[in-house]
Amino acid sequence: MTGDEVRKLKDEEIEIEVGRLRERLVTLRTQSVTEKVEDVSQFSKTRKDIARLLQERRRRDIDKGVATPRPRRQKRQARMEGAGA
């Protein structure tokens, strides 16, 4: 799933897709214990798809004013200069 595909989804579709992908991840984990997984790259692909969906949901929440953006982390150099002063 690409970023463009995620942006085209409605809010309800995002929630449904996140649930479906989380179930898929559980199924993959179960398969890895009970039997051999044919394509182990599905783990990372599924996790990345979930992250894309959650990121889009958060962006929409911020745009609506439901959530507040988190401050970006300071760069290490800025922290070091502050500690030495």
What pTM, to 2 d.p., does this model score?
0.78
Name residue 17's amino acid: E
In the predicted model, what is the mean pLDDT of the chain?
88
Question: Does residue 15 have a pLDDT over 90?
Answer: yes
What domains appear along the chain, each with residue ranges and CATH number? 3-84 (1.10.287)
Range of weakest confidence among 5-14, 26-35, 50-59, 62-71: 62-71
